[in-house]
A and B are shown apart, each in its own frame.
Chain A
Amino acid sequence: MANRWKNVLNDADVTDHSVFINRRQIMAGVAGLGLATTIGGPRAALAQEALEPNSFEDISRYNNFYEFGTGKDDPARNAGSLTATPWTVTIDGLVDKPGEYDFADIMAKMTIEERIYRFRCVEAWSMVVPWNGFELKDMLDLAGVQSSAKYVAFETLYRPEEMPGQKTGVLQWPYVEGLRLDEAMHPLTIMATGIYGKDIPNQNGAPLRLVVPWKYGFKSIKSVVKITLTDKEPPTSWNIANAREYGFFSNVNPEVDHKRWSQATERKIGGGLFAKRVPTLMLNGYEEEVASLYAGMDMTKNF
């Protein structure tokens, strides 16, 4: 069942764009309230703040996708070569119905909704993105998760002829990521297939990508081709590259600095040359929703 997380704005295509943006800003706060009633519990004032989404241009032209180069504008420049249709996602491991799931078939079974989320990069910049997508749980339920599963492993497409960055050694390819099962099944965790009501651009992880809004952006793996349910903590790309700097959890946490820079503050993209830094919120502002997942865990040790 989708639409657990109430979001009133799904009519981007029938609304004039500027009006759409204005209404969205007003309604974002209401969406936050909707979440509170769904998940329960009192909410701190911060969630009621209206989230002002970044422009489509900012979101689609400034990001990391090392498969297309290490520069922030490389993905937008180089991702045109990616063939996102047809696309299949292999779901295997500890599931009842392992196999290749066609993207179109998945989409036919899912309810697409809009989620306006904060997005916090480990490099201390941030955006607000109006994603379209469905809850990861709903897709995993298609395959039937077995009770012995404890983790979910993800894998990005490996196709060096279309992804020039994969010809370099900046990371091990294919890019891999992982979540604990409870994180994966959380209603905030989605597979995004669109932005601003349009198909997700290649450079943002077409045709479908993970979005885990309370973790640093690199956890939200793009252009996913494989999902494996497992009982062991799966390897993750940045942890392989530098275990000292990138942990398995990588939860947004202003109190745990990156080894080379502070995570206490961030700068929202789009503010120009004189944009002010703002404090980073614990779990990226989703503390109410997900802090319970980490009750009793030392977030400094398990960073």
Chain B
Amino acid sequence: MTRTKTPGSSGTAVCLLVLAATLLLSGCAALAGIVDAGANLGIVDSGTVEAFNNASSGLRSFADSVDAARSPFTPEQEYYIGRSVAAQILRDYIPYGNPFVNIYVNRVGQSLALVSARPVLYHGYTFLVLDTDEINAFATPGGHIFITRGMIELTETEGELAAVLAHEIAHVVERHGLGSIRTARVLGAVQDGVFQVVDAATPEEVEEVTSLFTDTTGDMVDSLVTRGYSGATEREADGIAVGLLLAVGYDPYSIIRVLERMDEVQRAEYEGSRQPRGFSKTHPRPSSRIADLERTELASVTPGARIDQNAAQRRFDSALGNL
């Protein structure tokens, strides 16, 4: 790849760089014409023309790249970001070792994903139970979805488990994780042309991209485990989760029952002056999420399931009874 070098020594070129920025931001081609005219008249030397061309080329590239950064990453990039986010989460958590539990959770989760707006991902949706009392769930952009044993223990029906998984699927569908890393750091990397590194890249370029990858996945892990998404993002995921529950036939109010129990846990944390853990650190208060859902997605929805609840309960108890 050929990197565009902006001229640094010429004051004229620096002025042109600023002017070119103005030009490009305004979408006006007049300045280029002025430079061309100046060259033709002999009042702008060839070096300055070249400097302008280099500078404007770099800025145009940046403008294009910023547009690109607003677009989603490619599915392949989402997958590799997701794998490394998952690997970092699994550095801090231990997988729950019972394969029957994990298969059951995958059956529930992957069935829900089928009715989502993105039923097919680069690799697919897979779910893993984390062996911790902490109450939480995470999703990577690649479709790796984690739910803690503590969160599962908070659920009492397959519909409630489905509600938690559906919320995480919604984060994947809406690419919320990637939204959290569209920050100045990423845009800065775009400006530096890091995304333009192609095959046959030098070791230095690979190192540069890897550094960006480190920052990007680090940002994501931070959002998932520590900072959380915005309240609006979480509310959107709750709303989509209700839609997924309805589409399969689970009681859409399953999500309310889980949130009510999460609210009890959070109240106990506050009353005991305990440090917030898990979802309490990263999500809006469950009581406000309940109020939002009852005012919006659930406002005109009748409680009740369309599935055979007895059959669902039997397999839920069978799979998770000894958790």
- The answer to whether A and B belong to the same complex is no
Residues of A within 8 A of B (CB): none
